[in-house]
């Protein structure tokens, strides 16, 4: 059933004319009463729709998100966009039965806009220690790390101590011979490839995969360095370093 004002007016007019056998537009008073009645019904429908929306964080307005945040213990962060806040509230509702599995920790970490990848370095709740490594395009302040630590820790096994580390960049340098017209495209392909390798401990890039990226641009080149696979060191993530062109 349509609940827009035009549809409501049409239904009221049809009901009136069917029950009375008279035309609604034959009397200005009747027209006015139909308009007022239809307007009141429309307002009621809008109110009901609004109340129903507030029952779901995905549809709730900002005032009701504050209520959901109180229920889920998900306060809004400083300068946090409403969509990011809404996403964390939804995740808190969906994850109320989670207890700190590896996949849960990754999901919780990725809820934040300033976290680009997450991996669990060690997850041994039986020993009371879990170490989570976060990757970010920016250096996270101590205050920001503390906030993340507190919020993620709320979901952990009782008695488990969560350690939070920020991954540090580990540059991968290249030495390549290639025509100048292909260099920017090669650099872009390598940068994207290396970025996509992160997200797990001991991320690696092999020489074969490096060749595959360059060959997606041109097959006329020589790769001088690196000469062997690159593995991310402890609590580090791989980033494109310096490309020396020959």
pLDDT digits over 129-164, tens only?
Answer: 677 787 876 677 888 878 877 777 766 655 556 777
pLDDT of residue 230: 93
Q: Which domain holds residue 129?
A: 98-166
Contact yes or no for 176/245 (Cβ under 8 A): yes
Model confidence pLDDT, tens digit, residues 53-99: 788 888 888 998 999 888 877 888 888 888 888 888 887 777 654 55
Greater confidence (125 vs 144) lies with 144
The neighbour count for residue 57, using CB atoms within 10 Å, is 24
Q: What is the pTM of this model?
A: 0.52
CA–CA separation, 201 vs 237, rounded Å? 9
110 and 159 in a single domain? The answer is: yes
**Sign of the C-alpha dihedral computed for residues 199, 203, 208 and 214 taken in this order:** positive
156 and 102 in a single domain? The answer is: yes
Is residue 61 one of the residues assigned to a domain?
Answer: no
Model confidence pLDDT, tens digit, residues 32-61: 888 888 888 888 888 888 788 788 888 888
Last-in-domain residue among 143, 166, 189: 166
Is residue 28 one of the residues assigned to a domain?
Answer: yes
Predicted confidence (pLDDT) at residue 243 exceeds the cutoff of 90: yes
pLDDT of residue 174: 97
Contact yes or no for 213/193 (Cβ under 8 A): yes
Predicted confidence (pLDDT) at residue 210 exceeds the cutoff of 90: yes
Indicate which CATH number applies to the domain containing 119.
3.30.300
Model confidence pLDDT, tens digit, residues 155-169: 665 555 677 778 888
Contact yes or no for 57/90 (Cβ under 8 A): yes
Can you say how many angstroms the Cα of residue 113 is from the centroid of all Cα atoms in its chain?
7
Is residue 74 one of the residues assigned to a domain?
Answer: no
């Amino acid at each position: 059933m349509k609940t827009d004002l035009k549809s409501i007016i049409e239904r009221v007019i049809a009901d009136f004319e069917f029950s009375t056998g008279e035309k609604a537009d034959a009397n200005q008073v009747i027209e006015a009463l139909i308009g007022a009645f239809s307007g009141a019904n429309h307002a009621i429908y809008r109110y009901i729709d609004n109340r129903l929306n507030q029952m779901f964080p995905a549809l709730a307005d900002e005032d009701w998100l504050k209520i959901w945040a109180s229920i889920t213990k998900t306060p809004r962060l400083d300068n946090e966009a409403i969509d990011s806040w809404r996403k964390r509230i939804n995740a808190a509702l969906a994850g109320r039965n989670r207890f700190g599995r590896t996949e849960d920790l990754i999901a919780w970490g990725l809820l934040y806009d300033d976290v680009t990848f997450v991996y669990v370095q060690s997850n041994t709740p039986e020993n009371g220690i879990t170490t989570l490594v976060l990757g970010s395009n920016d250096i996270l302040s101590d205050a920001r790390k503390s906030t993340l630590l507190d919020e993620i820790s709320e979901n952990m096994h009782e008695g488990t101590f969560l350690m939070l580390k920020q991954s540090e960049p580990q540059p991968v340098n290249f030495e390549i011979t290639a025509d100048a017209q292909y260099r920017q495209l090669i650099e872009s392909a390598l940068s994207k490839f290396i970025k996509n390798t992160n997200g797990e401990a001991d991320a690696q890039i092999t020489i074969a995969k490096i060749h595959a990226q360059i060959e997606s641009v041109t097959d006329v080149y020589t790769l001088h360095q690196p000469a062997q696979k690159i593995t991310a060191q402890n609590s580090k993530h791989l980033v494109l370093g310096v490309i020396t062109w020959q």
